Amino acid sequence: MSPSPSGPASKNARAVAAQLLDRIERDGAFANLVLASADLPERDSGLITELVYGVTRMRRALDHLIDGFVSDPPDLTTRNLLRIGAYQLHMLDTPAYAAVSETVDAAPRRHRGFVNAVLRRVADVEPAWPTDAVRLSYPDWMAERLEADLGRSEAHAALEQMNQPAPVTSRPDGYVQDQASQWVAELVDPQPGERVLDMCAGPGGKATALAGSSATVVAADHRQHRASLVAANAAKTGVSLGGVVAADGRHPPFSPHSFDRVLVDAPCSGLGVLGRRADARWRVKPDDVEELALLQAELIRAAFGLVRPGGVVIYSVCTMTQAETAAIDELVAQEHPEAKPAPINDPRWRPHGRGALILPQDHNTDAMFIAKYQAP
């Protein structure tokens, strides 16, 4: 875990963090949006942000540490204060006296004795984790699925890595984009004069990167507001697109075989970006993976219908389940046996099916899968 932001925090920083955590859990609010809309006192914003993201990620492990010492379940705000205290005690380098006394001070007067008693016990406990999913703080299904798909040790390394805050990287044009996404855009490799379709383009990270080449890039997204974001981001980064369309990639409003290259940066379970989206692990459901795999299959099928003979289809996702990566590649092998997989000759990527995969622990980036095919 990263060290606690230094400097004294005002008394209510932990109380503010607990209120924001309440909203994330009770209202299902997104952690990043809750933080962005809160008017945080400047001197405490680093600590509050660290506590909100960290406690959201580690919620399950923290509850395990706490639950050994509470008989009656506390109300949500008190629970969040206990989690904040336990997080500082076991996952940040906060000295025990400070973690306990400052969290007790943030509690309503009538709960202070209880918070104090529980945190003193939590401070002394040597954690005994019943399972790796509890220790790493993920839902059972998610840990089990990644263990089955990647093997235990790679899965645990990925899950461990995504408990760290993900680094923020910016492109030379100032657009904030994860490094692995930038590598995907490089591998799309548009050639001068080509007509390229980005079929799932919102909010425009890859489309704006591709539009910097001398190809004509058409961007589509089935949600109108996501398509509008692509146009706004193109204006912001100063690139011009060959069109932005709100359209369902499964029923594309384009002539068959009218593109030289089609990128399907498909909607996915996002299990490779859990370091960046602190609350997502509690939001994604097991059935989402299967449903998204069906959608991904339909999108890649449509992409083959849009690319010219000899053109290139690129499939990418920011996840690492077998169903959304290698199984999609197997489907392409069955449905388009004559399409040639293009080798990804780049040591940053691990071969995966006939495509390539990056895991979060490889380069401290999001996880990403890419496969590239040349149509017959």
Q: Residue 205 or residue 353: which is nearer to ligand SAM going by CB?
A: 205
User: Does residue 128 contact residue 135 with C-beta atoms inside 8 Å?
Assistant: no
With binding defined as CB under 6 A, does residue 267 bind ligand SAM?
yes
3-state helix, strand, coil in the chain (%, to 5): 50, 15, 40
Q: Residue 249 or residue 353: which is nearer to ligand SAM going by CB?
A: 249
With binding defined as CB under 6 A, does residue 178 bind ligand SAM?
no
With binding defined as CB under 6 A, does residue 190 bind ligand SAM?
no
Beta bridge partners of 352: 355
Q: What is the largest CA-CA distance in the chain?
A: 73
With binding defined as CB under 6 A, does residue 276 bind ligand SAM?
no
Angle of helix 59-67 relative to helix 112-124, nearest 10 degrees, comes to 100
Q: Per CB under 6 A, which region of 77-85, 99-107, 245-253, 366-374 contacts ligand SAM? A: 245-253
User: Minimum Å distance from CB 320 to ligand SAM?
Assistant: 14
Q: Could you say which of 64, 90, 206, 372 contacts ligand SAM (CB under 6 A)? A: 206
Collapsed DSSP state (helix, strand, coil) of residue 310? strand
With binding defined as CB under 6 A, does residue 223 bind ligand SAM?
yes
Q: Could you say which of 178, 194, 260, 265 contacts ligand SAM (CB under 6 A)? A: 265
Give the Cα-Cα-Cα angle 265, 271, 276 (nearest 5 degrees): 90
User: Minimum Å distance from CB 242 to ligand SAM?
Assistant: 16
Q: Taking Cα atoms as reference points, which of 43, 87, 302 lies closest to residue 197?
A: 302
With binding defined as CB under 6 A, does residue 272 bind ligand SAM?
no
Q: Could you say which of 89, 100, 200, 332 contacts ligand SAM (CB under 6 A)? A: 200
With binding defined as CB under 6 A, does residue 226 bind ligand SAM?
yes
User: Minimum Å distance from CB 198 to ligand SAM?
Assistant: 6
Q: Could you say which of 222, 277, 281, 372 contacts ligand SAM (CB under 6 A)? A: 222
Angle of helix 96-106 relative to helix 76-90, nearest 10 degrees, comes to 170
Q: In this structure, which amino acid lies at residue 316?
A: S
In the numeric block, the tokens 């077998």 are attached to 322
With binding defined as CB under 6 A, does residue 203 bind ligand SAM?
yes
First to last CA, the chain: 49
How far is the C-alpha of 207 from the C-alpha of 196, rounded, in Å?
A: 9
User: In the numeric block, which tokens belong to residue 225?
Assistant: 């507001």
Q: Taking Cα atoms as reference points, which of 291, 282, 270 lies closest to residue 141?
A: 282
Q: Residue 78 or residue 182: which is nearer to ligand SAM going by CB?
A: 182
Q: E-strand spans in the chain? A: 195-198, 216-221, 244-246, 259-265, 307-317, 340-341, 350-352, 355-358, 368-374
User: Minimum Å distance from CB 93 to ligand SAM?
Assistant: 36
Q: Could you say which of 54, 85, 190, 204 contacts ligand SAM (CB under 6 A)? A: 204
With binding defined as CB under 6 A, does residue 197 bind ligand SAM?
no
With binding defined as CB under 6 A, does residue 360 bind ligand SAM?
no
Q: Per CB under 6 A, which region of 71-79, 219-227, 237-245, 357-365 contacts ligand SAM? A: 219-227
User: Minimum Å distance from CB 270 to ligand SAM?
Assistant: 8
Helical residues (DSSP H) of 107-202, grouped into ranges: 112-124, 132-136, 140-150, 152-161, 179-188
Of 86, 318, 356, 375, which residue is the catalytic one? 318
With binding defined as CB under 6 A, does residue 205 bind ligand SAM?
yes
Could you confirm whether 318 is annotated as catalytic? yes
Residue 212: alpha-carbon gap to chain centroid = 25
Q: Annotated catalytic sites, by residue?
A: 318
Binding residues for ligand SAM, rule: CB under 6 A, are 181, 199-206, 221-223, 226, 248-250, 265, 267
